[in-house]
Amino acid sequence: MVRKSKKRSQAVQYGIIYAFLILGAFIFLIPLAWMIVTSLKIPAQIYTFPPQWIPKPVAWENYPKSLNFFPFFKYLLNTIYLCILVITGTVISCSLVAYGLTQIRWRGREIVFILVISMIILPYQVTLIPLYILYKKVGWIGTYKPLWVLHFFATGSFFTFLLRQFFLNIPKELSDAAKIDGCSELGIYLKIVLPLSKPALFTVALFVFLRTWNDFLAPLVYLTDMQMYTIGLGLSFFQGIHDTAFNLLMAAASMVTIPILILFFFTQRTFVEGITLTGLKG
């Protein structure tokens, strides 16, 4: 009887938790659903009250119209190009720094780690003006260099911390055995640490991809040629001075957002695994 009562209480607790999670998921999905619904409306239906959740008629032509409103595919290629550079630089540089903070013993290692972590609290807006002045002096304004070069120097403190926490879970005996066999630090990093850290590396890559894909401020500040704009910056074309084509804007935003949702849907297992394992030690 006691076991049955415990099982019933646990079932009730799990039921309440799942109910709250479903409710929260439903609330968070409302803006996404409204964006997709608005993208299928004609202009006259956007401002009707009460709001129409089922557009009549369904304006599928909004999607091809939004593609013609601005060079969508050109900006898409620009964004993908930047994503590849930023992901490559962040994964390589942050993993190297994290390796040095975990697998190599040297004096002052913990102090350096504290300094790296302290950079997380520094807002991007604080460094924006000094970096802009620096980039202007070296002639990088109007190019893609301000958007990706620094990522090859481990400027992502959060990603360094994330990889460090994962590297702490790798048994030290593996690297010690490799050193006995004559393997260098670079060989240990490439042949042992990186292959064992695929979930964490993939998580970092996914985080960086999402941040670069959605970035609006940095391209707005550093890019001057409209042909070099990213997809996030290109959405600003839909906002007019006196009027905004919200149905076309929502159609373009849907085409920008849905690939991200599909990517996360197919990679959520690896993503959750990478986040979970980084908190087991340290």
* Entry pTM: 0.82
> Are 9 and 134 part of one and the same domain?
no
Q: Which two tokens stand for residue 152?
A: 């090859």
| pLDDT surpassing 80 at residue 12 | no
pLDDT of the residue at 141: 93
> Are 158 and 248 part of one and the same domain?
yes
Which of 94, 82, 233 is CA-nearest to residue 158?
A: 94
CB 86 within 8 A of CB 275: no
Q: Supply the mean pLDDT for the chain.
A: 84
Residues spanned by the domain of 21: 2-38
> Within 13 Å, how many C-alpha atoms sit on residue 124's CB side?
11
pLDDT of the residue at 242: 47
> Are 131 and 20 part of one and the same domain?
no
The answer to whether residue 263 is domain-embedded is: yes
272 falls in which pLDDT band (50, 70, 90)?
A: low
